[in-house]
Amino acid sequence: MNPFQYQRAADIAGAIQSMRPGCKFLAGGTNLVDLMKNGVEKPAALIDLNRVAMSAIEPLPEGGLRLGAMARNSDTANHPAVRQNYPLLAQAILSGASPQLRNLASNGGNLLQRTRCPYFMDAAFPQCNKRAPGTGCGAIDGLHRNHAIFGASDECIAVHPSDLCVALAALEASVRVRGRNGERRIPIGDFHRLPGSTPELDTNLKPDELILSIDLPSSPYAAHSHYLKVRDRASYEFALVSVAAALELEDGAIRSARIVLGGVALKPWRVAAAEQALIGKPPGSAWFEKAGQEAVAGARPLRQNAFKVDLVRRGVARALGNAGGLA
């Protein structure tokens, strides 16, 4: 691991003031420390947030729930307000990693976790535009079984590994951040970037900005939601494909729907056309299968990952069936 300066931040203002180019905030460290061991991340300094009071989970005055950036994944998933009002989020968090990792990992850190593409994770590979811009993409002509089928570019075909973020996208969360120029909110859909010609940038967070909280609006989806995760082993594994599905039912018809995919793009991939296809329809397998077909429109698989198209099509139908209580 490269040497770095270590600084304990006492509060939010101090943490933001300490931030300099080339430095990183340190939260749980489950991703950052790992990447520092691999030589992928080489921060000049770490600003430790572990003593900063940002771990509260509390109701918002206008309804909804505020999740502190430093609240741990495990505490978030098992908070009574999350389990009762946002079970989709609890389910997504509990599907990821392991209990001991979720005890360390923070909510803010989950948003900022980096791709698990092996060409990115292992600095021994010469090619990775995300790790070393301009070197090319090792995965396009290499191993890409678990890479993107949506929103990729010629520069990068990596996927975002988070489960939590997929649920946040379905719940239309917003990310509250603060930098030297003040505070702003970033809708979760605008938080992560697609690779385009700048795959080295994962998010639209500015270098001096600190994530304070993730704010959830009140949700009509608590009664009918499901997080489906399809993976190579039953636990402690990243998704090949995941689906966050949520239905709002009224008088036997679907009033609104949310369908977001994980494991298929460099950001949670919301499929608005599939959601629209369900509005006003009765919940049932025929319409859920139609939504699955809508969800794969525009998929561009590569040689090794065409199977993900089928997984998405059928996964969407199955997740909707579970959400609607029809499974």
Partner 1 sequence: MDGDMTRREYVSILGGTVGSAALGVPLAADIAPAAAGADAVPLTVHINGSEQRLAIDPRMTLLDLLRERLDLTGTKKGCDHGQCGACTVLVNGRRINSCLSLAVCHDGDQVTSIEGLAQGGELQAIQAAFIEHDGFQCGYCTPGQICSAVALLAEVRHGDASFVTPGLQRLRPVELTDDEIRERMSGNICRCGAYPGIVAAVQTAARESGSATRTKGKPR
CA-based nearest residue to 305, from 73, 146, 129, 130? 146
Phi, psi of 106 (to 5 degrees): -100, 165
Report, in Å, the least distance between residue 319 CB and partner 1: 15
Confirm or reject binding of residue 99 to partner 1 (CB under 8 A): yes
Query: What is the rounded distance in angstroms from the CA atom of residue 44 to the CA atom of residue 40?
Result: 13
Query: What is the rounded distance in angstroms from the CA atom of residue 96 to the CA atom of residue 103?
Result: 12
CA-based nearest residue to 175, from 191, 192, 162? 191
Confirm or reject binding of residue 115 to partner 1 (CB under 8 A): no
Q: Which span sits near partner 1 by CB under 8 A: 3-11, 16-24, 126-134, 293-301?
A: 3-11
Binding map of partner 1 across residues 79-98, x = CB under 8 A, - = no contact: -x--xx--x--xx--xx-xx
Angle at 188 between CA 273 and CA 16, to 5 degrees: 165
Confirm or reject binding of residue 103 to partner 1 (CB under 8 A): yes
Report, in Å, the least distance between residue 35 CB and partner 1: 10
Q: Are 68 and 175 in contact (CB under 8 A)?
A: no
Q: Are 235 and 95 in contact (CB under 8 A)?
A: no
Confirm or reject binding of residue 135 to partner 1 (CB under 8 A): no
Angle at 215 between CA 321 and CA 92, to 5 degrees: 35
- Dihedral sign computed on CA atoms, order 245, 92, 152, 301: negative
Q: Which span sits near partner 1 by CB under 8 A: 28-36, 182-190, 249-257, 314-322?
A: 28-36
Binding map of partner 1 across residues 217-246, x = CB under 8 A, - = no contact: -----x------------xx----------
Residue 143 three-state SS: coil
Binding map of partner 1 across residues 29-68, x = CB under 8 A, - = no contact: xx--xx--x--------x-x-xx-----------------
For partner 1 (CB under 8 A), the number of binding residues is 38
Binding map of partner 1 across residues 166-205, x = CB under 8 A, - = no contact: ----------------------------------------
Phi, psi of 309 (to 5 degrees): -65, -45
Query: What is the rounded distance in angstroms from the CA atom of residue 93 to the CA atom of residue 87?
Result: 10
Q: Could you list the residues that contact partner 1 (CB under 8 A)?
A: 1, 3-6, 8, 26, 28-30, 33-34, 37, 46, 48, 50-51, 74, 77-78, 80, 83-84, 87, 90-91, 94-95, 97-101, 103-104, 222, 235-236
